[in-house]
Amino acid sequence: MVTCTGCALLCEDIEVVLENGGIKESRNACRRGAARFRGCKNRLAPSVDKKQTDIDTAIKKAAEILKNAKSLMLFGWSNSTCEAQAKGIQLAKKLNAAIDDTSSFCQGLLIERVLQKKFRTCSLEDVRNRADVLVYWGSDAQDSQPRHLSRFSVFPRGESRQRGYEEDRLAIAIDVRESNTAKICKGHFYRIPLKGDREFILALMEALVGKVPKYDAKRMLELAGIMKKAEFGVIFAGIGLTYSIKDDIDILVSLADMLPNFHVMPMVGHYNMRGFNEALFKETGFVNRVKFGVKPVHDNKYAVVEALKSKSIDALLITGSDPLSSLPRSILSHLASIPVICIDPCVTLTSKIAAVTIPAAASGLECGGSAVRMDGKVIEISKVVENSYLTDAQILTRLMEGL
Amino acid sequence: MPTVMELYQLLPKTNCKKCGESTCMAFSVALLSRKKKVSECTPILEESFKKQKEKLESLLLPTAGAEETGMIVHPELCTGCGNCVVACPVDVANDPHGAGTGCAPTNDKVIFKVMDGKVVAFNIKECRRFGKNRVLCYACIDPCPTGAIEFV
Amino acid sequence: MGMDVGKFMKNPEYEIKLTTHRDIFQVEALEYDRFGDEYKKHSAVVVMGKDDMNKFGLKTGDRVRLMNSFGSIVVELRESKREEPGGLAFMVNSPWSNALVSDETGGRGIPEFKNINAKISRTKDEITTIESLIDR
């Protein structure tokens, strides 16, 4: 059995069939996980200034860029093991650099509040064993964490949920789109307008205190009734919800406070985003957007989006992420004018414009380590195939030695 | 797969009971679950119902690839989420601590397994839609958001 | 054969609101090859409800230009397989949708990935390639 790094569920029950030193087939992994085990078509090669070179030259050049930078940012991290993330944080400290990860424009706001204990949360095993009301809010788990419903929430039999989903569990979806997850929630799909989550929360709060809400009163009172009666409820908060209420995220804390039997779990996509958030939180008290110096400083200007938009960094080291693919093009022009170092197993949009590329082992396939599941549980990930790629952690160590 | 109502609309609707069912509606349910054949309805064999009979037969035509239960898995639609693996009552009974609890199946007695990211059906004869005491079970279809499992 | 009037007339533009989501088939394609046809096929697409398409005189398979002050892309239009309340079009999150995302973040670091205003018009231009989304 090996662990899948396809998403932050980190499924540990995967079988792989090996052939000629490679993976022939995976079993029990979803379509997303299976794609991960198949690997990518175009492996990254070491390069400097877009010319292929050997790995030592690439690492040497990268170390030089890091040394010469006056305003450096280290970014990525959500696709790396905890061991690599620890090295990354160490490197940022050593270089007095800013460090940020993909949670900065993803679920960081919610994970921060979970780690600050502003939300009651729970483990996925608690969900399986105890949860009776499951609210997928702005979250299409079926497409993003495909085994969430089957392994933990809606479908499995658990300790106090032995009778199957038709009798024991109630799944609700709140979303702007009838997603695949919403389809499963059939009679309990609440469609809201784009950016309508705040209004919806306010109406739900009114309904919870027995007032007739202005907005869809009948269904809102019905939902409030279901949530009040829940023995063990969970709100699975997706980025649809986070993006919609990003300027007033604490409204979700207020809602959770009114629901004593409810837990909030941020739905995480990348397999080890939470790992990075926990590591940086432990080190600095913040989950992302930190600059090291005399003491670590947290500021929105150290968010990768703001740093690129304001052109305030003069070099960027990226580990396991593709900002050119995942960020708005409107803020990316600065990327072309600064040296970018790209550490990744595969060719990405960003690697095409990078000053230095350093190929890495794909975690969960070519190297193992540990990672933090979306609910905070530490999971061992496995090396499946023999290979000669350096791991992210080894590359970062060599960069540190080369300074 | 046709619906009960589609089948019912094509029947003579006389409730003559000659097929052994109490009503034409009951007969359409039996048709859908393949407990009865169209030819067991005597009135429909008359010339005036020729078109309806042909239409019924075409609706009930087994699709290529269907197993004896009529189950077809469309791998191109499957996301490999495993909802069917865990929700199937046969899987739960045959592997209560594996598939039944949401984990990977721990034995070969289950009907559904996910291979290379897509579901594959085994042990079709264990399906509740098969055999003498078959029932019209929807446990694998209802939890599938993409329509990757179908009974024809 | 009649004259192809469309050739001489500017295609009408309509204001639309776009939101983005994830799609497992697109992620599968992304894992394998983000420069491949499969990834493009799942990404360079906008989906709309039937009523909206009728309102704009557009049909499935049309190539459409989506444009705003941040970018301009050409994608394929498809009809939603679901009931849509209308007024909202959908794209899978990708470099194509990101070409249209505003740079306005209020200084708080999170762009409006799921809340995009754009103009839509039918076009004969080719679908935007991923290579052209890297070029700057």
Specify whether B147 is located in the same domain as B77: yes
A118, burial (CB in 10 Å: exposed 0-12, middle 13-18, buried 19+): middle
Q: What CATH number is given to the structural domain containing A292?
A: 3.40.50.740
Specify whether A244 is located in the same domain as A344: no
Which of B88, B114, B122, B137 has the most A C-beta neighbours within 10 Å, making it the best mutation to test the interface with A?
B114
pLDDT at B28: 86
pLDDT at B37: 85
**Residues composing chain C:** 136
Q: How far apart are CA A240 and CA A137, in angstroms?
A: 7
pLDDT tier for residue A215 given thresholds of 50, 70 and 90: confident
pLDDT at B64: 46
Q: How far apart are CA A275 and CA A5, in angstroms?
A: 13
Specify whether B127 is located in the same domain as B82: yes
β-strand B71-73 against B149-151: which pairing, if any? antiparallel
Strand order in the sheet with B118-121: A15-19, A22-27, B112-115, B118-121
A311, burial (CB in 10 Å: exposed 0-12, middle 13-18, buried 19+): middle
List the single residue in B103, B113, B117 with the smallest CB-CB distance to A30: B117
The C-alpha of B5 sits at a distance from chain C's nearest C-alpha, in angstroms, of 22
Q: How far is CA A140 from CA A227, A235, A248, C107, in A?
A: 20, 13, 22, 28
Yes or no: say if A2 and A18 are a contact pair by the CB < 8 Å rule: no
Tally of domains within chain A: 2
Specify whether A233 is located in the same domain as A188: yes
Query: Does position A133 have pLDDT exceeding 50, yes or no?
Result: yes
Give the end of a domain, one of A227, A244, A266.
Answer: A266
pLDDT at A310: 97
Residues of chain C contacting residue A354, judged by C-beta atoms under 8 Å apart: none
Residues 37-96 of C with CB under 8 A from A: 70-71, 82-83, 85, 88, 90, 93-95
Contact partners for chain A, using 3 or more CB pairs closer than 8 A, are: B, C
Asked if residue A3 belongs to a domain, the reply is no
Specify whether B44 is located in the same domain as B12: yes
* Low-confidence spans in chain B with pLDDT less than 70: 1, 61-68
| Mean pLDDT, rounded, for A228-256 | 97
Give the end of a domain, one of A232, A266, A300.
Answer: A266
Yes or no: say if A375 and A265 are a contact pair by the CB < 8 Å rule: yes
Specify whether A201 is located in the same domain as A249: yes
Specify whether A230 is located in the same domain as A314: no
Percent of chain A clearing pLDDT 70 (strictly above): 100
Q: Do residue A143 and residue C110 have CB atoms under 8 angstroms apart?
A: no
* A362: nearest CA partner in chain C: C31
Specify whether A114 is located in the same domain as A101: no
pLDDT at A216: 86
- Chains A, C: CB contacts within 8 A come to 140
Percent of chain C clearing pLDDT 90 (strictly above): 88
Residues of chain C contacting residue A6, judged by C-beta atoms under 8 Å apart: 31
Specify whether B100 is located in the same domain as B134: yes
Asked if residue A7 belongs to a domain, the reply is no
Specify whether B115 is located in the same domain as B143: yes
Asked if residue B64 belongs to a domain, the reply is no
Specify whether B21 is located in the same domain as B82: no
* B83: nearest CA partner in chain A: A150
Give the end of a domain, one of A238, A266, A294.
Answer: A266
Q: How far is CA A109 from CA A118, A125, A238, A277, B137, in A?
A: 11, 24, 12, 10, 43
Asked if residue A379 belongs to a domain, the reply is no
Q: Phi and psi dihedrals of A290, rounded to 5? A: -115, 145
Q: How far apart are CA C56 and CA C119, in angstroms?
A: 11
Contact partners for chain B, using 3 or more CB pairs closer than 8 A, are: A, C
Q: Do residue A32 and residue C28 have CB atoms under 8 angstroms apart?
A: yes
Query: Does position A223 have pLDDT exceeding 90, yes or no?
Result: yes
Which of A37, A329, A353 has the most C C-beta neighbours within 10 Å, making it the best mutation to test the interface with C?
A329
Q: How far is CA B151 from CA A365, B3, B25, C48, in A?
A: 37, 11, 20, 30
Residues of chain B contacting residue A25, judged by C-beta atoms under 8 Å apart: 115-116
Specify whether A174 is located in the same domain as A293: no
Asked if residue B31 belongs to a domain, the reply is yes
| Mean pLDDT, rounded, for A154-164 | 95
Residues of chain C contacting residue B117, judged by C-beta atoms under 8 Å apart: 28
| Mean pLDDT, rounded, for A354-375 | 98
Specify whether A245 is located in the same domain as A296: no
Tokens of A51: 């010319």
Asked if residue B65 belongs to a domain, the reply is no
Query: Does position C113 have pLDDT exceeding 90, yes or no?
Result: yes
Angle between helices A273-284 and A108-115 (to 10 degrees): 50
The C-alpha of A325 sits at a distance from chain C's nearest C-alpha, in angstroms, of 5
pLDDT at A90: 98
Specify whether A281 is located in the same domain as A200: no
Cα A331 from chain centroid (whole Å): 21
The C-alpha of A152 sits at a distance from chain B's nearest C-alpha, in angstroms, of 6
Q: Do residue C95 and residue A347 have CB atoms under 8 angstroms apart?
A: no
Domains and CATH numbers, chain C: 12-134 (2.40.40.20)
Q: How far is CA A215 from CA A204, A221, A362, C53, in A?
A: 9, 10, 48, 28
Yes or no: say if A215 and A193 are a contact pair by the CB < 8 Å rule: no
Enclosing domain of residue A302: 41-105+271-367+388-401
Enclosing domain of residue B39: 4-59
Does any CB of chain A come closer than 8 Å to the CB of residue B103?
Answer: yes
The C-alpha of B50 sits at a distance from chain A's nearest C-alpha, in angstroms, of 39
Q: What CATH number is given to the structural domain containing B50?
A: 1.10.15.40
Tokens 């085990």, residue located: A37
Asked if residue B66 belongs to a domain, the reply is no
Specify whether A340 is located in the same domain as A241: no
Number of CB atoms found within 10 A of residue A358's CB: 28
Q: Which ipTM did the prediction report?
A: 0.96
The C-alpha of C62 sits at a distance from chain A's nearest C-alpha, in angstroms, of 23
The C-alpha of A111 sits at a distance from chain B's nearest C-alpha, in angstroms, of 25
pLDDT at C9: 63
Asked if residue A5 belongs to a domain, the reply is no
Q: Phi and psi dihedrals of A212, rounded to 5? A: -85, 115
pTM attached to this predicted model: 0.89
Specify whether B84 is located in the same domain as B115: yes
Q: How far apart are CA A240 and CA A197, in angstroms?
A: 9
Specify whether B49 is located in the same domain as B78: no
pLDDT tier for residue A361 given thresholds of 50, 70 and 90: very high
- Chains B, C: CB contacts within 8 A come to 3
Structure-model confidence comparison of residues B60 and A64, the more confident one: A64
Specify whether B49 is located in the same domain as B120: no
* C88: nearest CA partner in chain A: A194
Asked if residue A25 belongs to a domain, the reply is no
Q: pLDDT tens for residues A254-302? A: 999 999 999 999 999 999 999 999 999 999 999 999 999 999 999 999 9
Asked if residue A373 belongs to a domain, the reply is no
Q: How far apart are CA A69 and CA A90, in angstroms?
A: 17
Alpha helices in A237-309 (DSSP H): 239-244, 250-257, 273-284, 304-309
List the single residue in B81, B96, B103 with the smallest CB-CB distance to A30: B81
* C26: nearest CA partner in chain B: B79
Number of CB atoms found within 10 A of residue B26's CB: 17
Q: Do residue A191 and residue C28 have CB atoms under 8 angstroms apart?
A: no
pLDDT at B67: 55
Residues 11-40 of C with CB under 8 A from A: 17, 19, 21-25, 27-29, 31-36
Average pLDDT of chain A is 97
Residues of chain A contacting residue C71, judged by C-beta atoms under 8 Å apart: 329-330
Q: pLDDT tens for residues A99-115? A: 999 999 999 999 999 99
Tokens of A48: 């400097």
Tokens 């697409």, residue located: C45
Percent of chain A clearing pLDDT 90 (strictly above): 97
Query: Does position C77 have pLDDT exceeding 80, yes or no?
Result: yes
Q: Which of C41, C23, C29, C34 is nearest to C93 (CA)?
A: C23
* C101: nearest CA partner in chain A: A328
Tokens 């209308």, residue located: C86
Specify whether A335 is located in the same domain as A348: yes
* A147: nearest CA partner in chain C: C24
Q: Can you spell out the DSSP letters for B23-67?
A: SHHHHHHHHHTTSS-GGG-TGGGSGGGHHHHHHHHHHTPPPTT--
* A180: nearest CA partner in chain C: C23
Specify whether A159 is located in the same domain as A253: yes
Specify whether A261 is located in the same domain as A169: yes
Q: How far apart are CA B79 and CA A27, in angstroms?
A: 13
**Residues composing chain A:** 403
C123, burial (CB in 10 Å: exposed 0-12, middle 13-18, buried 19+): middle
Q: Which of C80, C79, C60 is nearest to C122 (CA)?
A: C60
Out of A223-232, C3-12, C82-91, pick the least confident.
Answer: C3-12
Enumerate chain B positions whose Cβ falls within 8 A of a Cβ in C.
Answer: 79, 117
Query: Does position C1 have pLDDT exceeding 60, yes or no?
Result: no
- HSE on the CB side for A120, CA within 13 Å? 15
Asked if residue A383 belongs to a domain, the reply is no
Asked if residue B97 belongs to a domain, the reply is yes
Tally of domains within chain B: 2
